[in-house]
Structure 1
Amino acid sequence: MENEKTKLRYKRILHTSLIGILVNIGLVIIKSIFGVMAGSIAMLMDALNNLTDVVSSVVTIAGLKLSEKAPDEDHPMGHGRIEYISAVIVAIIIIYAGATAGFESIKKILKPTVTNYSGYSILILLITIFTKYSLGNFVKHRGKENSSPALIASGQDAINDCMISLAVLVSAILSIFAHIQIDAYIGLLIALCIIKAGFELLFDDMNDILGRRADRELADRLKAYISGFEEVLDVHDLVLHNYGPERLIGSVVIDVDSNMTANEIYKISHHIKDDALDAYNIILSAIGICVVNSESNDMRDEIIRRLEHIDGILQVHGVHIDIEEKSIDLDVIVSFDAQYPDAVVDHARMHLTESYPDYTIDIHSDRDM
């Protein structure tokens, strides 16, 4: 059953989208009327751009409602990623609208007609610019507050639209006071801006679908919180999977003293899981344990110091030393920038073998998550 926080999020996104729809419908009607009266292709393209915003908001609402579907056997983590798909649909709509606007503008460039802007046209454009900018800031702010990629995208698109309307305003001023006709060229410029914004949104949303890295700030805050437990000696191997905005599931590994009992480890693991869900809305499905023998602390610190000086190694963790069995087991995070990551791990293994010839060395390469 959805918690109150999730329900409130849906309600706010829905409310924001409805406001956007109503404002944009008003702008479409006003700009279309004055665009036809002035014979301005640029103003009509601007109205078309606002119409795509209406469609985008409708798609956002549809995606939001679909994402609310309860988990089922085929989708045990719910349907939150539908919000990302809806954002992609919005991007495609924007690209299509931009391409359509571009073709119409090119036609008018090839067969130019005279525009008849008036003082009322300039006043209307000034009002719409102010309205659109205010709407964009409002929607974008609500999107950030509620972790909605579709709302953030819609808000940024509305802010970008202000520059488009500003270009139309310049065209109107030049037409009235200097008798310079650049309306069709402004229309083409608007079309290119729309297409560019659409592709930027599309690529950004595709990153979420492909599996974008979890927010570093959130991950660092969670690790710092877990490190705050007295029993936890180190935190590493945090992996977070995104199943939609504010729907994260993951796992983490903690280092604990080897003298802790199984019951003590269970208690601290259970406490960490509960706190991660309550404080960060993150489901930690698994907490791995790495035991650290206090008798080998100095050796452990020396191994970490030696390996972290090797180029390409970002971090060394999960160091387990068995003095009786003469074995060293550890993980290293190799930078994505390392041209030959296997060679970096081989270098680390060779270095430890030379330093501890009596020990069996086992090194695992981790990703920089």
Structure 2
Amino acid sequence: MILEEHSAERNRGITMTSIKGIIGNVLLVAFKMFVGLASNSIAIILDAVNNLTDVLSSVLTIIGTKLASKSADKEHPFGHGRIEYMTTMAIAFVILGAGIMSLKESVEKIIHPEPSVFDIPGLIIITVAIVVKVVMGRYVKAQGEKYKSDALVASGIDALFDAVITFATLISAGLVYFFDFDIQGYVGAIISLFILKAAFDILREMYNHLIGIRADDNLVREIKETIAQHPQVGGVYDLVLNSYGSGETIGAVHISLPENLTIGEIHPLTKGIAVHMYKKFGIAMTVGVYAENDPNLEVSAIRQALDQVISLYTHVVQIHAFYVRLDKKIIYYDIIFDFDEEDPYGTLEKIKAEMKIRYPDYAQFAIVDTDFSN
């Protein structure tokens, strides 16, 4: 219930912020188009077009937030949170189209220049627009951070960036007014390139979100430290986090526990960790278990031998899930290589062969694991 209320509050916050952004940008578009058409300034007109794409971005943000808030159903058991990524990609394509159009118009202005005329009121309006954009950008970015909305944060940064672009437009307009020196076509081209870069940056970020990216290092560290505080936990491994939108994260993790614990003792421990993860981080976490040998000289010697062997291989990141079944003479371990290792499975076979020389009577149950998180 608490998470549902938080989600509803988040959706309302994002929607209201987007509506305020729409109102502010519509006013800016109207003022800039008036000044741009009156002065025949391509730079100011393109700046207005850039603000018009901000309006569309805010509309798409509202639509995406509404659709993403739909509850999970039979066909989509993980919910609809990733719709926010899709709508943000749609925003990026809109910005991309505006950038291409702006670049085309700017190049034509450079090839076929037309005189521009500015007056003091026009320059004042541009200056006011800069101040408004800075205020809007700081507000939207702050709201995006508050509600953990990538779309709002991106919009806020984009608005601050727009203020810089408008400042460049003001300089070019001032050069025309005071020195009759027109570089607006070139300024428009530069603005267009910045617009295109912003579009590509958003597309790259959303592409990464959709295919899956490494979890934030600080979050990973905090999760592992929290789990390690639970009694009997000797180590935390194999943390995997899959995001399905804001507040929709599903994870899995392994912990190592003393081998003498019973299932009746392990069950409440893992359940307690899962509940702790959900309450503190809002993550639905599945907790698996590795066994740790009780202190034993023979086991320690085998581990030392394994450590000596893997020290010869520079791409080994970690050995975990190490356990020796003395009665069955089986050595268990998982090995993680960094992503520069060209043949992880071949290298594992070499490591196993080296261990076989040292412990010929032991079988080995070893697998290659993946470095999902630091």
Q: Describe how 1:1-369 pairs up with structure 2 within 5 A.
A: 3-284=4-285, 286-296=286-296, 298-299=300-301, 301-302=303-304, 305-306=307-308, 309=311, 310-369=313-372
SS at match of 2:45: helix
Offset from partner CA, 1:45-98 (integer Å, 9 cap, x none): 000000000000000000000001111100011100000001100100000011
Please give the alpha-carbon distance, in whole angstroms, between the structure 2 residues aligned to 1:94 and 1:165. 17
Structure 1 residues 299 and 138, CA gap change in structure 2 (3 angstroms): farther
Offset from partner CA, 1:342-366 (integer Å, 9 cap, x none): 3332332233223322211222111
Offset from partner CA, 1:310-345 (integer Å, 9 cap, x none): 310111111121011111111111101223323332
Structure 1 residues 60 and 305, CA gap change in structure 2 (3 angstroms): same
The question of whether the paired residues in 2 share the 8 Å contact of 1:60 and 1:87 is answered with yes
64-73 vs 141-150, which moves further: 141-150
Offset from partner CA, 1:11-65 (integer Å, 9 cap, x none): 2211221121111111111111111111111101000000000000000000000
The question of whether the paired residues in 2 share the 8 Å contact of 1:304 and 1:317 is answered with no
Please give the alpha-carbon distance, in whole angstroms, between the structure 1 residues aligned to 2:359 and 2:12. 61
The question of whether the paired residues in 2 share the 8 Å contact of 1:69 and 1:79 is answered with yes
Give the RMSD, CA atoms, in angstroms.
Answer: 1.6
Q: Number of matched residues?
A: 368
Please give the alpha-carbon distance, in whole angstroms, between the structure 1 residues aligned to 2:288 and 2:186. 61
295-304 vs 136-145, which moves further: 295-304
The question of whether the paired residues in 1 share the 8 Å contact of 2:333 and 2:367 is answered with yes
Instruction: Report the TM-score when normalising by structure 2.
Output: 0.94
Instruction: Report the TM-score when normalising by structure 1.
Output: 0.95
Offset from partner CA, 1:127-150 (integer Å, 9 cap, x none): 211221222222222222322121
Which runs of no fewer than 5 residues in structure 1 stay unpaired? none
> Cα distance, 1:301 vs. partner?
4.8
- State the AA in 1 paired with 2:287: I
Structure 1 residues 183 and 304, CA gap change in structure 2 (3 angstroms): same
Which runs of no fewer than 5 residues in structure 2 stay unpaired? none
SS at match of 2:12: helix
Structure 1 residues 197 and 217, CA gap change in structure 2 (3 angstroms): same
State percent identity of aligned pairs.
Answer: 35
Please give the alpha-carbon distance, in whole angstroms, between the structure 1 residues aligned to 2:133 and 2:211. 32
The question of whether the paired residues in 2 share the 8 Å contact of 1:214 and 1:242 is answered with no
- State the AA in 1 paired with 2:134: Y
> Cα distance, 1:300 vs. partner?
6.4
The question of whether the paired residues in 1 share the 8 Å contact of 2:99 and 2:196 is answered with yes
Offset from partner CA, 1:271-314 (integer Å, 9 cap, x none): 00100000000001x22111112044624652564355231011
SS at match of 2:257: strand
